[in-house]
């Protein structure tokens, strides 16, 4: 069992002292922390019993360190909420509760500390005050309230034993590894080390990860969890990673580590926000994980204290659907919410509001329907993990429930059925313009870049069923065209185009496009022409007729007669050709028996 318990509460209410009594860890170990008597940075420690581990995150209670508190609370499974019995709830107590509520840290264990300083009546009064206050937050639930004192060992033992009965909140163990760096340092003989909380998935020794903010792939040389080196670590674990492939100066607090290819960065995302008096175009600090960045708020709609907003950032953010965040303005928490659309989606305002409402309800069928209508040329679900928190299989299953769609499971694209009709219209126009066109699903997909090959195949199948086109040897033609005669015609047309190009012939794929033929048919025609010796292949994408090649070689020989030699420079000037063509012709000249090379020059033998 692995569990992360964080502390929260007002400054000087005994959070650090309580952790020390629970596990013997001296949290305020920085010189500045000891001098000032407060927790300045996050402190991490753990408590073990058999194979059970509890990781503690002790967060600062000072009002000026609220961003640090948020970065710690992001990884809590449960919160040990500390209130001094002699003071009761204080301003930072209430702000910490607000943060816990915004981050949906539901499970609250209250430690009423310093109970040796008050009487029983005061303890009962404090318990009632705390219950009444926490009941105001919809996402918080008190599991137990413990009256403790660091001078009363029995009270500490009772709390410690209870903590081992708790279980981690449900996280995605099978998902993609995700982890925000909250500390960076270097150790002699080891190298660069980062720490953080595993939010989703797991990480293993010798695994490759991607630092999205730095844009670099890194290698995990070792993994440490709960002060022990391990082969792998999963969700609800505090983990230190020894990384190679990146400089210490490139590692920063707040950077996202995950598997490569699962996230794209965007400078605009859409979200639902709970806040009081949010202002359009307001500048805020957006806090997610251990990252906090400036953002501008663009309000899309409002109902009471709930808003749909677009956030604009100064740099790319690699956020995920349903990811929690907190907003700060003037050093105070003003609200927070959940990311709904983590990618830039160019919907009009009314459509975007409907889209966000469907995502808020997790009605993905409706969300996909809105995207289908907005993207007539189809939209992709390859990034479904980031966009919707879904794997590809789940996204495909949802897409199939949407009406009037074609789902390309291989390309992971979703199309409105009107896209099939537009492809059919394009094919009809093509065969009307050129009754000898030869085409395939692949060539149609290359011509219409937005159309997947499977979508093009569906359009071809429907046209074939309607007897407008016919299939022969894997390609399609207009119905009634004799493919055997057409192949001969294609060979002649390709030869004519190459011959007209003389010493600078058109590339084959451009010829295929001009003739409205697929690449397979064009390649087969070229192979036939080269086998007959009518066309010579000089290199991968350079074909020339035998007549034109003879012309080129005769011109090169003429240069030798006039200047005594030929090379790339004087051949380019004399023939007015690009370097690519000249080199290809010179290499053919090298094959002639009466030609020899002298350095870069070609001359006649003898």
Task: Write down the pLDDT at residue 175.
Answer: 83
Residue 41 has pLDDT above 60, yes or no: no
Beta strands in 276-403, from DSSP E residues, in sequence order: 283-288, 291-303, 306-317, 324-329, 332-341, 379-380
Residues 116-174 pLDDT 10s: 999 999 999 999 999 999 999 988 999 999 999 999 999 999 999 999 898 766 655 67
Share of the chain above pLDDT 90, in %: 61
pLDDT tens profile 494-551: 898 999 999 999 899 888 888 777 788 888 889 989 999 999 999 888 999 999 999 9
Question: What beta strand segments (E) does 231-279 contain?
Answer: 232-233, 238-244, 256-258, 266-275
**Whole-prediction pTM:** 0.77
Q: What is the pLDDT of residue 521?
A: 82
Query: CATH topology of 178-258 equal to that of 546-604?
Result: no
Pick the CATH number of 178-258 from 3.40.50.920, 2.40.30.10, 3.30.420.40, 2.60.40.650: 2.40.30.10
Highest mean pLDDT among 55-64, 399-408, 566-575: 399-408
- Tokens read off for 251: 């590692």
Q: How far is CA 209 from CA 184, 212, 297, 414, 422, in A?
A: 16, 9, 32, 30, 42
Query: Is residue 259 within 8 Å of 210, Cβ to Cβ?
Result: yes
Write the pLDDT tens digit of every residue in 273-330.
999 889 999 999 999 988 999 999 999 999 999 999 999 999 999 999 999 999 999 8
pLDDT at 489: 79
CA distances (Å), 503 to each of 53, 545, 548, in order? Answer: 76, 9, 6
Domain at 418-478, CATH from 3.40.50.10140, 1.25.40.10, 1.10.10.10, 3.40.50.150:
1.10.10.10
What ranges do the domains of the chain cover?
2-165, 178-258, 418-478, 546-604
Residues facing residue 203 across a β-bridge: 233
Q: What is the pLDDT of residue 535?
A: 93
Task: State the architecture of 546-604 in CATH terms.
Answer: Orthogonal Bundle (1.10)
Q: How far apart are CA 378 and CA 356, in angstroms?
A: 19
Q: For position 544, what pLDDT does the model report?
A: 93
pLDDT band at 347 (very low <50, low <70, confident <90, very high): very high
Q: Report the relative pairing of strands 324-329 and 283-288 from DSSP bridges.
A: antiparallel
* Residue 474 φ then ψ, to 5°: 85, 0
Which band of pLDDT confidence, cut at 50, 70 and 90, is reported for residue 332? Answer: confident
Q: Is the pLDDT assigned to residue 49 strictly greater than 90?
A: no
Whether residue 52 contacts residue 100, with contact meaning beta carbons closer than 8 Å, is answered with no
Answer for the pair 38, 12: CB distance below 8 angstroms, yes or no: yes
| CA angle, residues 560, 562, 564, in degrees to nearest 5 | 45
pLDDT per residue over 53-68, tens digit each? 787 777 664 444 567 7
Q: From CA 510, how far away is CA 487, in angstroms rounded?
A: 18
What is the SS3 string spanning 199-224? EECCEECCCEEEECCCCEEEEEEEEE
Q: Which of 11-15, 237-241, 577-581 has the lowest mean pLDDT?
A: 11-15
pLDDT surpassing 50 at residue 28? no
Quote the pLDDT of residue 92: 85
Closest to 43 in 3D by CA, of 52, 55, 51: 55
Give pLDDT tens digits for 228-258. Answer: 889 999 887 888 999 999 999 999 999 999 9
**Res 24 pLDDT > 80:** no
Give how far Cα 377 sits from Cα of 115, 264, 371, 374, 451, Å. Answer: 67, 21, 11, 9, 7
Q: Can you give the pLDDT at residue 383?
A: 93
Gap between the terminal Cα atoms of the chain: 88
Reported confidence tier of residue 35, pLDDT bands at 50, 70, 90:
very low
Name the least confident of 10-24, 200-214, 409-423, 531-545: 10-24
Mean pLDDT of the chain: 88
Report whether pLDDT(29) > 60.
no
Distance separating alpha carbons of residues 415 and 388, to the nearest angstrom: 18
For range 49-53, the mean pLDDT = 75
Residue whose token pair is 């199939």: 400
Q: How far is CA 3 from CA 174, 326, 532, 576, in A?
A: 17, 23, 75, 75
In the three-class reduction of DSSP (H, G, I as helix; E, B as strand; rest coil), residue 142 is classed as strand
Q: Reply yes or no on whether the pLDDT at 50 is more than 80.
A: no
Higher pLDDT, 353 or 95: 353
Q: For residue 485, is pLDDT > 80?
A: no
pLDDT at 62: 42
Average pLDDT, integer, range 578-583: 91
Q: Does 3.40.50.300 match the CATH number of domain 2-165? A: yes
* DSSP element (H, E) containing 127: helix 120-134
pLDDT at residue 69 greater than cutoff 80: no
């Amino acid at each position: 069992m692995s569990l992360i318990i964080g502390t929260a509460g007002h400054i000087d209410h005994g959070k650090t002292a309580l952790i020390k009594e629970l596990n013997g860890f001296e949290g305020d170990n920085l010189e500045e922390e000891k001098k000032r008597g407060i927790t300045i940075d996050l402190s991490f420690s753990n408590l073990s019993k058999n194979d059970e581990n509890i990781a503690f995150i002790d967060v600062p209670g000072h009002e000026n360190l609220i961003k640090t508190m948020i970065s710690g609370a992001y990884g809590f499974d449960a919160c040990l909420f500390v209130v001094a019995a002699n003071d009761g709830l204080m301003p930072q107590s209430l702000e910490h509760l607000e943060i816990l509520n915004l981050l949906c840290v539901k499970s609250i264990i209250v430690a009423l500390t310093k109970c040796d300083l008050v009487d029983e009546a005061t303890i009962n009064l404090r318990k009632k005050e705390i219950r009444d206050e926490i009941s105001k937050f919809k996402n918080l639930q008190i599991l137990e309230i413990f009256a403790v004192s660091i001078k009363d060992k029995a009270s500490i033992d009772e709390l410690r034993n209870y903590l081992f009965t708790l279980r981690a909140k449900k996280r995605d163990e099978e998902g993609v590894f995700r982890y925000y760096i909250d500390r960076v340092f270097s150790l002699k003989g080891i190298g660069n080390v980062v720490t953080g909380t595993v939010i989703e998935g797991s990480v293993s020794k010798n695994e490759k990860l991607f630092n999205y903010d730095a844009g670099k792939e890194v290698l995990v040389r070792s993994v440490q969890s709960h002060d022990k080196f391990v082969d792998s670590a999963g969700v609800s674990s505090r983990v230190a990673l020894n990384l190679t492939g990146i400089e210490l100066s490139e590692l920063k607090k707040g950077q996202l580590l995950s598997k490569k290819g699962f996230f794209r960065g965007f400078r605009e995302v859409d979200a639902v926000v709970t806040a009081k008096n949010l202002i359009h175009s307001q500048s805020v600090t957006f806090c997610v994980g251990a990252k906090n960045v400036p953002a501008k708020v663009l309000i899309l709609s409002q109902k009471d204290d709930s808003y749909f907003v677009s956030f604009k950032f100064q740099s790319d953010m690699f956020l995920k659907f349903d990811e929690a965040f907190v907003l700060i303005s003037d050093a105070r928490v003003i609200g927070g919410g959940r990311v709904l659309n983590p990618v830039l989606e160019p919907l009009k305002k009314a459509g975007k509001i409907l889209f966000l409402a469907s995502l808020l309800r997790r009605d993905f069928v409706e969300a996909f329907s809105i995207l289908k209508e907005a993207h007539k040329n189809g939209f992709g679900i390859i990034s479904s993990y980031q966009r919707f928190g879904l794997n590809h299989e789940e996204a495909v299953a949802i897409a199939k429930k949407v009406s009037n769609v074609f789902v390309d499971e291989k390309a992971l694209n979703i199309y409105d059925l009107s896209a099939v009709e537009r492809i059919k219209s394009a094919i009809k126009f093509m065969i009307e313009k050129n009754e000898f066109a030869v085409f395939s699903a692949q060539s149609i997909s290359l011509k219409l870049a937005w159309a997947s090959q499977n979508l093009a195949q569906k359009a071809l199948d429907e046209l074939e069923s309607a007897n407008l086109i016919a299939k022969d040897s894997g390609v399609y033609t207009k119905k009634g065209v004799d493919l055997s005669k057409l192949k001969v015609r294609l060979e002649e047309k390709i030869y004519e185009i190459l011959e007209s190009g003389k010493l600078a012939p058109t590339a084959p794929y451009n010829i295929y496009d001009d003739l409205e033929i697929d690449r397979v048919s064009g390649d087969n025609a070229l192979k036939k022409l080269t086998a007959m010796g009518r066309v010579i292949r000089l290199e991968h994408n350079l074909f020339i007729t035998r007549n034109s090649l003879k012309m080129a070689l005769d011109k090169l020989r003429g240069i030798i007669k006039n200047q005594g030699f030929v090379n790339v420079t004087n051949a380019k000037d004399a023939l007015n050709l690009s370097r690519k063509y000249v080199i290809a012709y010179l290499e053919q000249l090298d094959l002639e028996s009466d030609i020899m090379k002298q350095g870069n020059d070609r001359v006649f033998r003898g």
